[in-house]
Structure 1
Amino acid sequence: MGWAYYALQVMAGAFALFLGFMFLLVLVFYVIDSRQAGDAIRRNYPVIGRFRGVFTQLGEFFRQYFFAMDREEMPFNRAQRNWVYNASAAKGNTVAFGSTRNLNIPGTPIFMNAVFPPLDDQYASTEPMVIGPHCREPYLAPSIFNISGMSYGAISKPAVRALTRGAKRAGIWLNTGEGGLSPYHLEGGCDIVFQIGTAKFGVRDVAGGLSDDKLREVSAHPEVKMFEIKLSQGAKPGKGGILPAAKIDQEVARIRGVPMGQDAISPNRHKEVDDFGDLLDLVAHIREVTGKPVGIKSCIGSADPWFELFKEIKKRGEESAPDFIAVDGGEGGTGAAPMPLIDLVGLPLREALIRMVDLRDLAGLHERIRIVASGKLVAPGDVAWAICLGADFVTSARGFMFSLGCIQALKCNKNTCPTGVTTHQPHLQQGLVVEEKEKRVAAYAKSVIQEIETIAHSVGVAEPREMRRRHMRIVKDDGTSVQMNEIFPSVNLAEHGLARARGHKQFELALQRLDEV
């Protein structure tokens, strides 16, 4: 009994000490809050007002679990994320009872199934496609769905390793992003698209200009199949990339060629490119030095300026054309960008893609320039929609981030990503096990491709790229739908001939502008 009584006394003393400490802590916070001038809520309601900030921070985590419906959240909702999670785990994505998607929302695509589709043994399989037929080393791209640009530095070492290994398993390409080529990109042996950003990370000389010697070094890797000149991206058009100093360690600094302790900021455009003539000169130079296909990536604000590109190509000849054009929608994502640019600048992909495809086709370059679509395309329906509009390839970044385990914590720019995808903190990176995540990356890619082929099979074509705008309907404002080709008639001169283009006033005017050379 004596020992029990003594233990109770000790516990009571400890509890009293704890209460005293808490009272002192509250008193200190009360004095601080009541005297500070920066926050009116904390000044008027000392201590209690602090909970507003706590709840605001926690709200973004709890909403997706307790309050938001399956298709309510932005930028990606629970239904989209769960589809990717299930596909990545190779669980299959069959559902019961019926769709939860509201088919009356304007802009919703509806694919038109064929009355007599091909039999099951006539399955619509994706065929490889040549990019850069005039290059010394053309690229026979095997996959219609690939990984979009994510820089090492913006994403972590284990994330890059898992992506490159998974890409190899799935037979798809991986875009390096503008952060240069790291050893981890090469580790998996997948096909690589090297992105050249405005700061020329990875291929820059001491003055920040383009280095031919480093271009040759990069091109010497057999894994590097193509080069992409990044003009702009959808999340921050008109502004260069931003890698916060907190995410730059010695290795990232060495690969990029930037100093430690400073944000790595790319210029808002290539300094040596003042017009489309300069751009074609740069494309030709890189293609000559490397011998490999060279394309461009851009977010589009309007189709008007791009007439000049195709007029310049017409003057020089089709061999001068970029081998591909990657169209990034204004809804594209990134690790760090000003909110006004993310929210307000750049055409969404549903408008930008159509404009670029039609310009290419009116210029008679359908077989010369490949179109790559990018911007919130994570599910098979999204990819099939882009193919119907005229894209030859689709790339996704955030879809593959979800396959790595991303939970949309919105901490990409804080170096505190809880899943290890976008952080360089070792204790957080340990959660991303490369050997497991590479399987998920591959499974996700294969699932998307398989389901695209399923949609193509349903609409009655033998290969996904044979899908056209006439195979899809779009829901209008009144809830009814109309065939996409009635709103945006396709003008592929190779397929329909010049007479079809001449039959539409909008294309007649566009052809006149292209003829003004």
Structure 2
Amino acid sequence: MPSTGFAHWLIVLVETFAALFLLLLALFVVVLLVTWLVDRNQTGNAVLRNFPVIGHFRYWFLHLGEFFRQYLYSSDREEMPFNRAQRTWVYRAAKNVDNTGAFGSSRDLRGEGVPFFVNAPFPNLGEDHVEPVPVTIGPYARQPYSHAAFFNISAMSFGALSAPAVRALSRGAAKAGIWMDTGEGGLAPYHLEGGCDIIFEIGTAKYGVRTPEGKLDDDKLLAICAHEQVKMVSIKLGQGAKPGMGGLLPGAKVTAEIAAIRGIPMGEDSQSPNRHLDIGNVNELLDAIVHIRELTGKPVGFKAVLGGADWIGEMCDEIARRGIRSAPDFIIVDGSEGGTGAAPQTLMEGVGLPLHEALPALLDMLIVKGLRQRIKVVCSGKCVTAYDVAWALSVGADFVNSARGFMLALGCIQSLQCNRNTCPTGITTQNPKLQRGLVVADKSERVFHYARNVMHEVGIIAHSCGVAEPRQLNRGHCRVVGDDGLSIPLEKLFPYPKANESVV
């Protein structure tokens, strides 16, 4: 009968699944037994030796915590390098959605070191708003560069970033009217694709402009600077997250295309020297600046991490001897809190001055030496919100750069996978399957909105302080909370020095 046949096959199916279950159970017991024996007799791990099998749970939870901690356990103001409140602000600015809050701030407004701005009793009216005035960089270059936007994209190389990420940044930067720094990985076609202004960075390995021996190839540099979009050249002396160490690109990220652009072997770790082989003192630095400026006709400056400002003073004295034309056209000061794709934790956490000390130290030295107007100052280092940017402008910076802010705008979730080629958002990976998640047309709009919303909200702070535009902010507009919970004016913490009017 049909019912009898069905019952027969049902019994066979149940018996089969029962046999498979018993087999899997037996395999599980065997695996547990083997694991117990291995753990008990190994000598490299005390936890597993004393607690075989169950000791593995410790390492599973440690691994899982890396992914779930920010969602389940951390408060809004707790995480590093960027807490949830900061990331959320950037996400909302990038999506161009309502970024207002309610009930009150979750920020500790009495914490030591917290800066806040001094509102004017009669702030500027909205109709009195003026656009930032263009700042001219490189008056002695054949092609000076005038740029109005005070918030721009910091150095991030193709290789550390994926092609879709670079393309989205380029398009968004062009639409927002901001510049984009290539980073030390050379100039890729993706940088040029969007039509934005480009700052070409020469790193210690001189990727993209190197001879086979690793020296500067003038012909290659001329070819790059022949692009109308390339507005300035930056010599990278150091990077905030790893001062005293060259860039590191893991071999997994060195594709054939990246190898060709950089001029290095494919698939091998790419470690830059810890300094330029031909720049070992301020004299050689100034020589390099003058040579590149005369060769290309573009403004030339350098990027550095300050451990102190004495060597800046020595450089200024040498400029006084040579003449004002020999000065760098700009200096990019990178705080020790700056980001990186890969760096030793020792350098990230213990070397170099943070931006809140480095920026005023640099500016004050230039003021003392009478070179503040000649040398424009750009700063970078965890400046991702309008609040951060306004602080830097009030200290005296001409421009503020951000790298990780724009990564967050692209969709970075702070998964800390930048050095592993496994970035889940497609931003810092060369894996095409992961890059697929980054849709250039969508993310370029987010880059545009983020840049414009930051500059808009810095303008709101400026108006509240009673000035017409953000570059009119000064140290008198900002106060910093001390260890007693009371604030002092920034101009008292870092008083303006007396300028030397007689220099060069």
Settle same-fold status: TM greater than 0.5: yes
1:297 aligns with 2:303: yes
Residue number in structure 2 paired with 1:505: none
Deviation at 1:8, TM superposition (A): 2.3
- Residue 224 of structure 1 corresponds to 230
**Pairwise CA distance, 1:230:** 0.4
* Counterpart residue number, 2:242: 236
| Match of residue 336 from structure 1 | 342
2:478 maps to 1:472? yes
Correspondence for 1:318 among 321, 324, 327: 324
TM-score by length of 1: 0.94
Within 5 A, what are the aligned runs for 1:87-486? 87-486=93-492
1:399 shift after superposition: 0.6
Q: Take 1:290 and 1:42, find their aligned partners in 2: how far apart are those partners?
A: 62
Distance 1:15 1:328 in 2: 60
Matched residue type, 1:13: A
- Please give the per-residue CA displacement for 1:384-442, whole angstroms capped at 9, x wherever unaligned: 00000010000001111111111111111111111111111111111111111111111
Contact 1:87 1:443 in 2 (8 A): yes
* Residue among 47, 69, 82 paired with 2:75: 69
Q: Please name the residue that 1:45 is paired with.
A: 51
Q: Any idea what SS the aligned residue of 1:399 has?
A: helix
Partners of 1:189 and 1:92 lie apart in 2 by 29
Runs of 4+ in 1 over 6 A off after TM superposition: none
More displaced 10-residue stretch of structure 1: 97-106 or 9-18 = 9-18
Taking the aligned partners of 1:372 and 1:15, their CA distance within structure 2 comes to 66
User: CA offsets, 1:432-474, max 9 Å, x none?
Assistant: 1111111111111111111111111110111211100000111
Q: Is the 8 A contact 1:153 1:243 kept in 2?
A: yes
Asked whether the equivalents of residues 475 and 490 of structure 2 are also in contact (C-alpha less than 8 Å), the reply is: yes
Shifted more, 258-267 versus 392-401: the winner is 258-267
CA contact (8 A) 2:117 2:477 kept: yes
Partner of 1:86: 92
Asked if 2 retains the 8 angstrom alpha-carbon contact of 1:232 and 1:297, the reply is yes
Q: Distance in 2 between matches of 1:309 and 1:256?
A: 31
Q: CA deviation at 1:492?
A: 7.0
Q: Does the aligned pair in 1 maintain the 2:134–2:148 contact within 8 Å?
A: yes
| Equivalent-residue separation in structure 2 for 1:341 and 1:227 (angstroms) | 26
Shift of 1:228: 0.3
Query: Helix, strand or coil for the counterpart of 2:17?
Result: helix
Q: Does 1:4 align with 2:1?
A: no
SS of 1:59's equivalent? helix
Identical pairs, percent: 56
CA distance in 1, matches of 2:39, 2:446: 48
**Separation in 2 of the partners of 1:149 and 1:165?**
16
Q: Which runs of 5+ in 1 are unaligned?
A: 499-510
Note closer, same or farther for the CA distance 1:124–1:64 as it changes in structure 2 (3 Å cut).
farther
Q: Tell me the distance in 1 between the aligned counterparts of 2:369 and 2:257.
A: 45
Cα separation, 2, equivalents of 1:217 and 1:29: 61
CA distance in 1, matches of 2:18, 2:439: 46
- 3-state SS of 2:277 partner: coil
Q: How does the TM-score come out when normalised to structure 2?
A: 0.96
CA contact (8 A) 1:168 1:191 kept: yes
Secondary structure of the structure 2 residue equivalent to 1:272 = coil
| Residue deviations 1:105-137 (CA, integer Å, cap 9, x gap) | 111111011111111100143222111111111
How many angstroms does 1:58 deviate by?
1.4
User: Partner of 2:232: helix, strand, or coil?
Assistant: strand
What is the CA-CA distance between 1:318 and the residue it aligns to? 1.4
The residue type paired with residue 241 of structure 1 is G
SS at match of 1:302: coil
Measure the CA separation in 2 of the matches of 1:93 and 1:266. Answer: 41
Query: What corresponds to 2:3 in structure 1?
Result: none
Distance in 1 between residues matched to 2:254 and 2:27, nearest whole Å: 40
Give the Cα separation in 1 of the matches to 2:39 and 2:189. 50
1:323-381 per-position Cα deviation (integer Å, ceiling 9, x unaligned): 10000011111011111111100001000000100111122222211100100110011
Q: Is the 8 A contact 2:182 2:200 kept in 1?
A: yes
Q: CA RMSD in A?
A: 1.5
Q: In the alignment, residue 396 of structure 1 is paired with which amino acid?
A: S
CA separation of 1:492/1:448 partners in 2, compared to 1, >3 Å: closer, same or farther? farther
Contact map agreement 1:358 1:491 (CA 8 A) in 2: yes
In 1: Cα distance, 2:214 partner to 2:415 partner: 34
Gaps of 5+ in 2: 1-6
CA contact (8 A) 1:124 1:454 kept: no
Instruction: Report if the CA contact (8 A) 1:88-1:442 is conserved.
Output: yes
> What is the CA-CA distance between 1:53 and the residue it aligns to?
1.3
Whether the 8 Å CA contact 1:154–1:335 is kept in 2: the answer is yes
* Alignment match, 1:22: 28
CA distance in 1, matches of 2:485, 2:456: 30
CA distance in 1 between counterparts of 2:439 and 2:137 reads 34
Q: Is the 8 A contact 2:154 2:180 kept in 1?
A: yes
Could you report, residue by residue, the CA deviation over 1:49-100 in whole angstroms, capped at 9, with x for unpaired residues?
A: 1121111111122111111110011111010011111111111311011111
3-state SS of 1:80 partner: helix
Which amino acid in 2 is paired with 1:267? P
Give, in whole Å, the separation in 2 of the partners of 1:90 and 1:373: 25
Aligned to 1:506: none
- Counterpart CA distance in 1 for 2:250 and 2:191 is 21
Q: Distance in 1 between matches of 2:64 and 2:484?
A: 38
Q: Quick one: which amino acid aligns to residue 375 of structure 1? A: G
1: distance between equivalents of 2:166 and 2:43?
Answer: 45
Give the AA of the match of 1:419.
T
C-alpha distance in structure 2 between counterparts of 1:357 and 1:153, whole Å: 33
